[in-house]
């Protein structure tokens, strides 16, 4: 009895997918096809009528689905606690590592870049794996790799081996971004139509909270329990994430069926194998539906100009956000003459804003349900982070304190990463969400890796040898920090311009959709009158839930989606339309952007490997 609702949900969902696939095939072949032919082709897969339920039954079912979605959200939140804590454990320990292990600015930047380096390509692989193999398999693979990397990092710290620590961060980085993609995909899957903004906010708060606690407690842990205490805690939390992941895998089928979540390609394949025992034709049809839901990496060229403008914004966000949070403690310490502990405490508040602002931002996004509100919030974020860099770049004798800059960054960065995530389902179809999130993570980490490495080189340009942490800051080092802050200001200005470009493309897309709607209104009305008798018996809406047709088109606007089912017929009447020519041009530009993105990733690898060889390899040989 307990399994009956689950089997009923999967069976009815797959029946609806088969039915909609048949309807879409009829529309593509001929909208004017006879009603009898259509009913004959899909009659065997029509969903069984659902018995009427009382109001109390409906309310109880909604409450049960709500509770199950909360359990899924709790599991998704717990997956990234270990990885986020370990990601920010090194920042407050920069001076300690320099004192005890003799690491220079460049070597410390290499440690940070070693974990972000693999994130330049693993999100793409993780996104495709989540699309093709499912989120459950991809998640356990990612959390297992993270635990292995953390063990290597701890071992390197125990033996005082910087190269082993770099190897540990390198392995650690193999799993961080794929896990983030999987976590966000799980949340989108369960909450796409149930308050996605707030749900995503709480999903990301767990990771940001772990990051803040890491930055706040790393130095005190070394003072009270010894220098290796932060690494033991990070390893333990990584193991906890693996344990929670195993629980999620064991309960994933119950969670998906109980919450009525979107079926993945792996789920449809499983149902097809079950049906193959008694109905080969339905099993083959389901396999075709599952294949349509899988994403090939080459399909990212079809995502459009708005998506690639969004990718460019990600590169700049990666360059100005993550490197600053890792270097801030040392910058504040040297620029304002503070102690290591006080500088680490102040810098830890850079990550505190998300704990409060994520839920508020998520509520605002859900409340207004507009891409324009996301752009406006992005502009506000860019102004606030730019104010932080500008304040810190002013002479310390003028500003006296770093607190205004830190609070400005705390607020500006406190909600911006959430905006990068919630924007994805608004600009791409659901089947592309995991892949688009992979591209987002990949290029953001590429920008972070490049600038993190170059920042270390810039700080060591006039200071090739580690300085005495207890001594005064040399004038050459002060000059290097000043130049680095000036670069942050410039990059923040470029980020603001990229936000304006994204807003312009969005407004242009809206104008094109309005123009298209006005010139095709007459033809659309004729098509609706022709199709209406065909659809009246099926009672299926053009954007029915689970429709593969709606899965394959970017969600660029309601007016575009509302008449996409008629576009193929209209194009056959008049040949290639202006819209189709524009789409082909976007695909060509997409290929160019893919090439540029790949080149940027290759450059990040070459820069890191070259710097690591000259700084770590030659140093080891000399010693």
* Number of separate helices (H) and strands (E) present in the chain: 30, 0
Q: Of how many residues is the chain composed?
A: 623
pLDDT of residue 567: 44
pLDDT of residue 520: 62
Residue among 496, 309, 499 nearest 386 (CA): 496
CA of residue 563 relative to chain centroid, distance: 30
Residue among 196, 190, 351, 205 nearest 264 (CA): 190
List C-alpha distances in Å: 129 to 444, 576, 615: 19, 35, 35
Residue 615, token pair as written in the block: 């700084």
Confidence of residue 283 (pLDDT cuts 50, 70, 90): low
Residue 136, token pair as written in the block: 């459950």
Rounded to an integer, what distance in angstroms lies between the CA atom of residue 75 and that of residue 80? 10
* Phi, psi angles (nearest 5°) of residue 227: -70, -20
pLDDT of residue 1: 38
Of the listed ranges 22-31, 94-103, 356-365, 367-376, the least confidently predicted one is: 22-31
Contacts with 254 (C-beta within 8 Å, 6 or more apart), sequence order: 6, 68
**pLDDT of 47 strictly over 60:** no
Instruction: Identify whether the C-beta of residue 433 lies closer than 8 Å to the C-beta of residue 592.
Output: no
| H or E element at residue 230 | helix 229-259
**pLDDT of 485 strictly over 70:** yes
Rounded to an integer, what distance in angstroms lies between the CA atom of residue 111 and that of residue 103? 10
**pLDDT of 560 strictly over 50:** no
What pLDDT digit, counting tens, does each position of 212-267 carry? 888 778 778 888 887 788 888 989 999 999 999 999 888 888 888 777 777 766 66
pTM for the structure as a whole: 0.68
Instruction: Identify whether the C-beta of residue 96 lies closer than 8 Å to the C-beta of residue 214.
Output: no
Q: Where do the domains of the chain lie, and which CATH numbers do they carry?
A: 69-268+279-510+591-622 (1.20.1250.20)
């Amino acid at each position: 009895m307990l399994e009956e609702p689950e089997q009923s949900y999967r069976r009815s969902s797959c029946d609806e997918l088969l039915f909609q696939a048949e309807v879409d095939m009829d529309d593509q072949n001929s909208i004017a096809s006879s009603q009898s032919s259509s009913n004959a082709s899909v009659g065997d897969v029509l969903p069984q009528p659902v018995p009427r339920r009382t109001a109390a039954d409906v309310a109880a079912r909604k409450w049960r689905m709500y509770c199950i979605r909360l359990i899924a959200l709790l599991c998704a939140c717990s997956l990234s606690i270990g990885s986020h804590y370990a990601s920010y454990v090194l920042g407050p320990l920069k001076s300690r590592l320099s004192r005890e292990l003799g690491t220079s600015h460049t070597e410390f930047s290499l440690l940070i870049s070693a974990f972000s380096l693999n994130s330049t390509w693993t999100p793409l692989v993780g996104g495709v794996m989540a699309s093709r193999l499912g989120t459950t398999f991809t998640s356990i693979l990612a959390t297992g790799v993270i635990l292995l990397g953390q063990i290597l990092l701890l071992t390197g710290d125990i033996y005082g081996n910087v190269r082993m620590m770099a190897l540990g961060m390198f392995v650690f980085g193999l799993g961080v971004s794929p896990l983030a993609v999987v976590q966000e995909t799980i949340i989108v899957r369960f909450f796409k139509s149930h308050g996605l903004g707030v749900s995503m906010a709480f999903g990301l708060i767990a990771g940001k909270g772990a990051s803040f606690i890491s930055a706040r407690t790393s130095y005190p842990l070394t003072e009270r329990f010894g220098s290796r205490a932060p690494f033991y805690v990070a390893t333990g939390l990584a193991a906890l994430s693996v344990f929670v992941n195993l629980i999620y895998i064991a309960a994933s089928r119950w969670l998906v069926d109980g919450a009525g979540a979107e079926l993945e390609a792996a789920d449809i394949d499983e149902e097809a194998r079950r049906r193959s025992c008694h109905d080969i034709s339905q099993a083959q049809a389901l396999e075709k539906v599952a294949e349509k839901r899988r994403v090939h990496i080459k399909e990212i060229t079809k995502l459009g100009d708005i998506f690639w403008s969004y990718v460019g914004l990600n590169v700049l966000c990666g360059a100005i956000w993550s490197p600053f949070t890792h270097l801030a403690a040392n910058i504040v310490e040297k620029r304002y003459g503070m102690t290591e502990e006080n500088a680490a405490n102040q810098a830890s508040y850079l990550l505190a804003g998300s704990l409060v602002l994520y839920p508020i931002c998520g509520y605002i996004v859900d409340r207004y349900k507009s891409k324009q509100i996301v752009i406006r919030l992005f502009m506000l974020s860019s102004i606030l982070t730019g104010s932080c860099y500008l304040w810190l770049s002013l002479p310390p004798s003028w500003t006296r304190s770093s607190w205004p800059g830190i609070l400005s960054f705390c607020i500006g960065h406190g909600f911006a990463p959430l905006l990068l995530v919630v924007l994805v389902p608004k600009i791409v179809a659901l089947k592309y969400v995991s892949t688009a999130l992979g591209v987002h993570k990949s290029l953001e980490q590429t920008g972070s890796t490049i600038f993190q490495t170059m920042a270390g080189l810039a700080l060591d340009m006039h200071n090739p040898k580690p300085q005495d942490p207890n001594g005064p800051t040399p004038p050459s080092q002060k000059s290097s920090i000043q130049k680095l802050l000036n670069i942050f200001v410039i990059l923040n200005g470029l980020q603001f311009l990229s936000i304006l470009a994204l807003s312009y493309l969005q407004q242009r897309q809206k104008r094109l959709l309005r123009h298209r709607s006005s010139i095709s209104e007459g033809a659309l009305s004729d098509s609706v009158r022709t199709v209406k008798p065909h659809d009246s018996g099926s009672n299926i809406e053009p954007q029915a839930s689970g429709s593969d047709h709606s899965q394959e088109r970017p969600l660029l606007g309601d007016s575009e989606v509302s008449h996409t089912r008629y576009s193929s017929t209209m194009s056959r009447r008049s040949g290639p339309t202006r819209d189709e020519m524009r789409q082909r041009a976007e695909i060509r530009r997409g290929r160019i952007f893919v090439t540029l993105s790949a080149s940027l990733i290759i450059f990040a690898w070459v820069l890191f490997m070259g710097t690591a060889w000259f700084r770590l390899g030659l140093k080891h040989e000399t010693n």
